[in-house]
Structure 1
């Protein structure tokens, strides 16, 4: 005997119908996404198996190399190959250009008979630091010295970008553009009133060294006298060198340039507010021309090409590098100088490119140590520092390389300060550019507590503990003086450890190092005078020294960057997007445009670093930090 279920109420039937409809839409959406992904994977596999990516056009005689880097000048890409390929297919830049690529292109252009001249567009290059800019400027000067004409054009030049343009035989500026020198500054925001008075956050600072000013914005309303004294000292050194570098190639004197800056308002007024005319009157540029006029000039001097943008025979840096064989690849490929890049803030664990990880960067150094083909290592450092423990992990790997008989040479980039110096100090040789920012030997800890903040919204913390110090580091409670004493003891010990390690590495006494430490920042030249670095020089000089220490003959070794490799699937996807088929598929996709890679601003890195070091860990009530907010 069957039982017939009772009829459902009308309202129940409505809800059940809606639920069934939603389930159907959900399953349909998931199935469409699934089959779409399968189709994309199938296309990738087909292109990988049968497709052919675009090959660079043949490089002809009398070609102009167009060097027009856009975005930030970085030591290594912060984005993965897939995202870069997607960005380029979408018609935009990747927001960053590698220093090594710019240097390699200029090095090759010096001796390549097919390159007749170089067109420089530096006004779209984001300033990163003076050390990297000076190295590129030197490379441009070498191209010019090799007899290749260099023409620079820009719509607007910043005073840092102008250092590169000034190296050219001829510098042209758009008639509606502008350029001026104004000097260096270092201003930042101070949050004490906002945090303490407005929000009720009490920030407790523990440090050693009167010049260790990185955490001052959280406890003061303005820069301390010691901070202003130290900052102005190294900034003046870098600025005067910048002025001297420009004066040397522009046929003037630093005194004349400084005089022009001193009368900047009067000079602009005399040009009736026309910044292009002002730049011409100051002899910063050789003429005012539009882009079309510069292109016509290159047509007349070079070879006309109606199919090329601008009408003259040219090759972009990217396509030119496709024709360039890596240095040393044809001779003794098995003998290598490995380059490991340490760029960004130093934090614990496994970190992506653009950030230094205690474990991930150590793993790269370990890979170089275990590779029998690597004879020596260059550690390229561009970092304001970070966590002390992570820095120590990397320093130990440098020591392990030396113990394995592989010389280590440090090449300091724009910044190698605080923790950046910690990971550098044990190298066999330390090179810095004259305008590198380094030093800042000191550590600190920040402990914010929020009981007053919580009280503002009616929340209070109370309870019990089994000992007087159980819960002493709870950020929702007031920091007990005894707990503060313990934290200061940790920081004092960390500072003694820091200067002791520097003393051992540099063959000096701890007292000697303390005199030049205490958190004070130095330029590369000032650091050389104080024995913190061994020589002045850039990345290329450091690589040559590493090869020499490794017993390798000049031009008979390969330079290999040891970096994290993309996953096989990631390489497959990036190869697909770089192909013609992939470009057609995503080149005009709105989705692709929304996924364009963006460089991470330094300010965001600093904030993420602070967030990381304030996160408590078991057994570590406070993280010791060796960091320097000293980038320009």
Structure 2
């Protein structure tokens, strides 16, 4: 009978070591092999560069997705989602649209611009007005601008109205209705139905951000303040449309008041009604508009629509193709602060006390950066995180680098906190800003627990031990402590604004108390220095740094850069071969669905905000918040 030969411990060790080395060798070889394969495929099918841009080309600007200041997903995920046609969570950078339009206005190869904005999801009127101004510059350069839409929201129409000719599908619609701001209120549901008691601490009768958790309807002060700034934005909208369409703002307003009669007279035909109101120049199908562009441009049977064209993202690659990768010129850096302000490290699309401060610190430490523009689009958030960012703004100025703030759609509450110490603040007249105020909320759940037969009990070594336990009723004395903390935060805010804006605390308090203003109203009250968009802020920063003529310096965005793999993968999926393979790959489609963000309903977002407010800051009885629910 044969016996199994057993190895000794030393032999077993060397056998194990050999297997481990063999496994590692195969693993490394496979990783290198597939990496090289991906590089070869990208080089083979990446298109070999851009096709030359011919004369008499039509630039087609047809963005799809949410208009943002900064992408919130990485390069590879965006490319993958775009190839697979998954438009959920699609984003369009405002800066890209502006660059394409401004380059086209000077490019002799671009004969006309064709606009399709009916699939763009706007986020605010300040960014829309900045984009509308860029379209107006193309038109002023002498190039023809044609716009078409199957249907228009009133926000999209502000952009379309800037064209020489505006066409609407005969089965489409366009209705101007005005601005509204309605919110859900949870007091009855939370307190009466669920037994959740929400304790609100704030300073300022106009600080209405947390009202939905303690009231059943908006307070009179909230309605007064909201209607004041909304009317200002709406009147400016009517004026902008009237100017672009050579109409009267009063006539536009009258058309809204008599809309039911006008639509009835048009037989319920919304497209025909828009034509009668002179909001559009004609009713055409997409095919008819394509025929028009073929007649006016150059026919190209291989192009979509049959006319010679270039998409705005491909055109941007042409624009960027001539820019050297290593540019030794001094820089005006731009840091984007978009989204809610939270503590710690946050991804793009949100503002982190540490991550955004780190970007500002990078600009301060870089000798090539001579000035900085902070582009703010934020409703605010945590006070301490806001203060971390503000300190870096002050440190930049102390280092001799001018800081200019460019406000986007929204720079309110904490968004104003991080802006106030800049050398100069630019805003659009329709920017939403102000909301200088502080609040805190503490939900407690003892009544909710009682409903299911659960009770909290125990002991503590002092009167206040466990006083902030949400399973226990809130002691009124603890409420006094929290209110004192909130009032201190408000004093810090108003004193900081007063010092930064060179005003008295009493003057700032008179325009603070949580009240929201438009950019125009804020400028009248000294909270904003001047009107203008991002380019105005960049030019101002360069001037303050004494950088000379525009061609002697350049603009650089400081943000998370794509990794080499992300750039490589994005190039592969955008190639013809990569796009064809991925489009038919169920694996890739499932992967895309996993990486594309989904929208969150208002109720879920509001309750998530309440949950975040419950997370206590170490050493503090309540998380002080400088936040504004003031988006349209």
- TM-score normalised by the chain length of structure 1: 0.92
For the structure 1 residues 156 and 553, does the alpha-carbon distance in structure 2 shift closer, same or farther, using more than 3 Å as the test?
A: same
1:61 to 42, 46, 55: 55
Deviation sequence 1:193-247 (CA, Å, 0-9, x none) = 0000000000000000000000000000000000000000000000000000000
- 1:587 corresponds to which residue? 583
Q: CA RMSD in A?
A: 2.1
- 2:597 corresponds to which residue? 598
SS, match of residue 154 in structure 2: coil
2:490 to 487, 495, 498: 495
2: CA distance, partners of 1:601 / 1:140: 32
For the 8 Å contact 1:418–1:439, the answer to whether it is kept is yes
SS, match of residue 430 in structure 1: strand
Deviation sequence 1:117-150 (CA, Å, 0-9, x none) = 0000011110200000000000000000000000
2:109 to 100, 110, 114: 114
For the structure 1 residues 166 and 610, does the alpha-carbon distance in structure 2 shift closer, same or farther, using more than 3 Å as the test?
A: same
* Residue 74 (structure 1) aligned with residue 73 (structure 2): no
Deviation sequence 1:555-609 (CA, Å, 0-9, x none) = 2211111001234444443344334443343222233334242365594665544
For the 8 Å contact 1:379–1:408, the answer to whether it is kept is yes
- 2:312 corresponds to which residue? 317
Per-residue deviation, 1:58: 1.6
- 1:45 corresponds to which residue? 36
For the 8 Å contact 2:198–2:443, the answer to whether it is kept is yes
1:342 to 337, 343, 347: 337
Q: How does 1:177-576 map to 2 (within 5 A)?
A: 177-325=172-320, 333-556=328-551, 557-576=553-572
- 1:88 corresponds to which residue? 82
1: CA distance, partners of 2:178 / 2:27: 55
Per-residue deviation, 1:78: 0.6
Question: Which segments of 5 or more consecutive residues in structure 2 lack a partner in the other structure?
Answer: 2-25
1: CA distance, partners of 2:122 / 2:237: 14
SS, match of residue 58 in structure 1: coil
- 1:616 corresponds to which residue? 616
2: CA distance, partners of 1:611 / 1:468: 26
Question: Which segments of 5 or more consecutive residues in structure 1 lack a partner in the other structure?
Answer: 2-34
Equivalent residue pairs, number: 599
For the 8 Å contact 2:41–2:572, the answer to whether it is kept is no
2: CA distance, partners of 1:296 / 1:130: 33
1: CA distance, partners of 2:122 / 2:253: 22
Q: Which moved more, 1:50-59 or 1:308-317?
A: 50-59
2: CA distance, partners of 1:580 / 1:45: 19
SS, match of residue 176 in structure 1: coil
Deviation sequence 1:387-427 (CA, Å, 0-9, x none) = 00000000000000000100000000000000000000000
2: CA distance, partners of 1:599 / 1:324: 32
Q: Which moved more, 1:165-174 or 1:594-603?
A: 594-603
For the 8 Å contact 1:327–1:558, the answer to whether it is kept is no
Per-residue deviation, 1:439: 0.2
SS, match of residue 152 in structure 1: strand
For the structure 1 residues 304 and 215, does the alpha-carbon distance in structure 2 shift closer, same or farther, using more than 3 Å as the test?
A: same
For the structure 1 residues 469 and 414, does the alpha-carbon distance in structure 2 shift closer, same or farther, using more than 3 Å as the test?
A: same
For the 8 Å contact 1:44–1:576, the answer to whether it is kept is no
Deviation sequence 1:473-522 (CA, Å, 0-9, x none) = 00000000010000000000000000000000000111100000000000
- 1:139 corresponds to which residue? 134
Q: Which moved more, 1:324-333 or 1:201-210?
A: 324-333
For the structure 1 residues 56 and 326, does the alpha-carbon distance in structure 2 shift closer, same or farther, using more than 3 Å as the test?
A: closer
- 2:15 corresponds to which residue? none
For the 8 Å contact 1:343–1:381, the answer to whether it is kept is yes
